Amino acid sequence: MDPAAIDQVRLNFSPQGLMVINAAIGLMMLGVSLDLKLDDFKRILVAPRAPCIGLAAQFILLPAFTFLLTLILRPAPSMALGMILVASCPGGNLSNIMTYLAKGNCAVSITMTAISTMAAIFMTPLNLALWGSLNPDTAEILRSVSLSPMDVFVTVFVILGIPLILGQILTRIFPGLADRVRRPFKIFALVFFILIVCGALAANWQYFLGYVGMVVFGVFVHNALALNLGYWSGRLAGLKEADARAVCIEVGIQNSALGLVLVFNFFEGLGGMAILVAWWGVWHIIAGLVTALIFTRMPLPPDAEATDPDACRKF
């Protein structure tokens, strides 16, 4: 199969379906926000070192190294832009439980989730526009769709920012109600989103089967790069082992749901982007669990901070 053919594929997704998937991720982010406490945001002021190193790895190192990776691997342009898009997204919703399983510092993980979700409103459009424009192949796609970073900013703000604000308001005004609905709401939103993604895959199953093999290697290498960037940036910066594990998981588990929404909103379901981002959403769960298993077999040093199960209340 001609690798360039994936650039011509447009996945079938109706405007009504697009509205539903936007609503689904908004509900997911509202569920995440119900879990966040003000202390999760304040913690970066009290103990900023580990979260700041992690956020630098997530929003600076990962997009930059992903850009270099696209130049080395030279995948189809739409796949390369999909890799840059994934690297521009914030941490994923499953990172906290995986950090707990990896015996990492859950407080660092949760703080990174809170701050990166908020920072993504600005950093996701910025990184996508910056690194996408530096690769000549991906720059052509950005020009063809006339991508405006401001339009991406508005979309990300509506999808991430508004649910984040609403969740915090609800938690502050009705804490009892927030406690009661937190877990069932998260489960409902996650199941709702999975059903929508399954429906989208079913409508494009031939495309997915025909081209997923082309993205498997790229996603494997890219995700391994993300996990190692997170871990080794932490260790080289002098973080404790538990903190480095948290940073590793946060950088390696990206919010691919947001990536899919942006693909359908701005790139009309461009095949290479959509299939790569969708496969990343599957693979990073597998890779994250394997990474956590490896970490559990590596005992923490005596001076490591204990993992607080209550801190990982996010699951």
Smallest CA-to-CA distance from 32 within 199, 159, 174, 194 is with 159
Give the pLDDT of residue 31. Answer: 75
Instruction: Please report how the helices 15-35 and 175-203 are oriented relative to each other, as an axis angle in degrees rounded to 10.
Output: 150
Q: Could you tell me the maximum CA-CA distance found in the chain, to the nearest angstrom?
A: 57
Give the pLDDT of residue 194. Answer: 72
Distance CA 12, CA 17 (A): 10
- Cα distances from 102 to residues 19, 57, 196, 237, in angstroms, run 36, 19, 30, 20
- The pTM for the full model equals 0.84
* Residue 191: pLDDT band with limits 50, 70, 90: confident
Residues 176-182: contacts with CB within 8 Å, 24+ apart? 178/34, 181/34, 182/31, 182/34, 182/35
Distance CA 79, CA 6 (A): 8
Residue 196, token pair as written in the block? 């929508």
Q: In this predicted model, what pLDDT tens digit does every residue of 263-291 receive, in sequence order?
A: 888 887 777 888 888 888 888 888 999 99
Q: Is residue 147 part of a domain?
A: yes
Q: Is residue 278 part of a domain?
A: yes
* Residue 164: pLDDT band with limits 50, 70, 90: confident
At position 164, the amino acid (one-letter code) is L
Q: Is residue 53 part of a domain?
A: yes
- pLDDT higher than 90, residue 210: no
Distance CA 186, CA 28 (A): 7
- pLDDT higher than 60, residue 144: yes
As a whole-number percent, the residues of the chain with pLDDT over 90 amount to 28
Smallest CA-to-CA distance from 304 within 243, 261, 226, 259 is with 243
Give the pLDDT of residue 11. Answer: 61
Higher pLDDT, 45 or 84: 84
Give the pLDDT of residue 18. Answer: 67
**Average pLDDT in the chain:** 82
Give the pLDDT of residue 4. Answer: 59
CB 215 within 8 A of CB 279: yes
Residue 192 belongs to what domain range?
Answer: 13-298
H helices within the chain, ranges in order? 15-35, 38-46, 49-56, 62-73, 77-88, 95-101, 106-134, 136-144, 149-156, 162-173, 175-203, 205-236, 241-252, 256-266, 271-296
Instruction: Name which of 16-20, 57-61, 183-187 the model is least confident about.
Output: 16-20
CB 17 within 8 A of CB 268: no
CB 226 within 8 A of CB 87: yes
Give the pLDDT of residue 95. Answer: 83
Q: Is residue 252 part of a domain?
A: yes
* Residue 314: pLDDT band with limits 50, 70, 90: very low
Q: Is residue 231 part of a domain?
A: yes
Residue 224 sits at the vertex; the CA angle it makes with 86 and 186, to the nearest 5 degrees, is 55
Smallest CA-to-CA distance from 94 within 296, 280, 295, 303 is with 280
Give the pLDDT of residue 248. Answer: 95
Q: Is residue 310 part of a domain?
A: no
Residue holding tokens 């709401």? 185
Q: Is residue 308 part of a domain?
A: no
CATH code of the domain containing 31: 1.20.1530.20
- pLDDT higher than 90, residue 213: no
- pLDDT higher than 80, residue 237: yes
Give the pLDDT of residue 174. Answer: 83
Give the pLDDT of residue 17. Answer: 64
- The SS3 call for residue 241 is helix
- Number of structural domains, the chain? 1
Q: Is residue 312 part of a domain?
A: no
Q: In this predicted model, what pLDDT tens digit does every residue of 65-106 receive, in sequence order?
A: 999 999 999 998 989 999 999 999 988 777 888 888 888 888
Give the pLDDT of residue 105. Answer: 87
